[in-house]
Amino acid sequence: MSVLVSATDLLAGDRGPTVLLDVRWALGDDPRRARYLDGHLPGAVYVDLGNELADPPSAAEGRHPLPSLQRLQAAARRWGIRDGDAVVAYDATGGLAAARAWWLLRWGGVADVQLLDGGLDAWLRAGGPVATGDVVPEPGDVTLTGGGLPVLSIDQAAALPSSGVLLDARAGERYRGEVEPVDPRARHVPGAVSAPTTANLTVEGTFRPASELRARFAAMGVQPGTDVGVYCGSGVTAAHEVAALAVAGIEAALWPGSWSQWAADPDRPAATGR
């Protein structure tokens, strides 16, 4: 199953039962639900990333710990997902938030999950209609089994640079330790390679072609078959990097706790510079 679906293909409407998830979210963006109510893809269900795609934050697990499989299944059923349904997630930031829903559902065992390439902007450019107000679907019956995508623990992430590649998907200035707006410490995990996830996107907010993504990751020492893991601040934009790697034909593991988990432990070393 392809990671991405284009707006034109989604508009064609020949996909069979498809659940649309609106996952608009950004740090500090409180009016995100209001934006959904003001205009969304027809039939799309609003997904609250902080409350539905993560467990409560903790120093031990990070700012956005993975929800339990039971909590995720309950949320997926609230969104109306039934066994065998296709799912398309989107946002208004090039998939940086929606990729968290894509990753979690794939991790949970849902086979047919895609990201709307370019999100809401691409939909509007393609002439797609929008609807207002809330969508409350009939409850679904999907059963999640887990284990659909690989996950790293903090200790596995710490050890990975000695045998593979650990990618840091945060902005370069956070990786270099020049600024840290959210977590207790700046810098990065020793041995990690800077790979800002925003560089996976074109200026229009769509994913770069697979050939370009392969070249980008190859320059970082990542090829198909490389043992690779990804982290970010709290495991959200790292999911976008995992999606970009999948577009390039490379499987990668996500470290859910990411830098927020590492930085909260004063005994974990931190590196600076490039």
3 state DSSP class of 211: helix
Report whether 108 contacts 72 (CB < 8 A).
Answer: yes
> Counting beta carbons within 10 angstroms of the beta carbon of residue 200, is it exposed (0 to 12), middle (13 to 18) or buried (19 or more)?
buried
> Counting beta carbons within 10 angstroms of the beta carbon of residue 247, is it exposed (0 to 12), middle (13 to 18) or buried (19 or more)?
buried
CA distances from 210 to 10, 50, 169, 201, 255 (A): 20, 30, 18, 11, 23
Report whether 117 contacts 6 (CB < 8 A).
Answer: yes
Alpha helices in the chain, H assignment, sequence order:
7-12, 32-38, 49-52, 69-78, 98-108, 119-125, 154-159, 172-175, 210-218, 237-247, 258-263
Q: What is the distance between the alpha carbons of residues 65 and 55, in angstroms, rounded to a whole number?
A: 5
Q: Which of 115, 158, 232, 244 is catalytic?
A: 232
Q: What is the distance between the alpha carbons of residues 222 and 169, in angstroms, rounded to a whole number?
A: 14
Q: What is the distance between the alpha carbons of residues 73 and 243, in angstroms, rounded to a whole number?
A: 21
45-46/18-22 β-pairing: parallel
Active site residue 232: yes
Q: Which residue, chain included where needed, has tokens 């710490």? A: 158
Report whether 230 contacts 238 (CB < 8 A).
Answer: yes
Q: What is the distance between the alpha carbons of residues 147 and 32, in angstroms, rounded to a whole number?
A: 31
Catalytic residues: 232
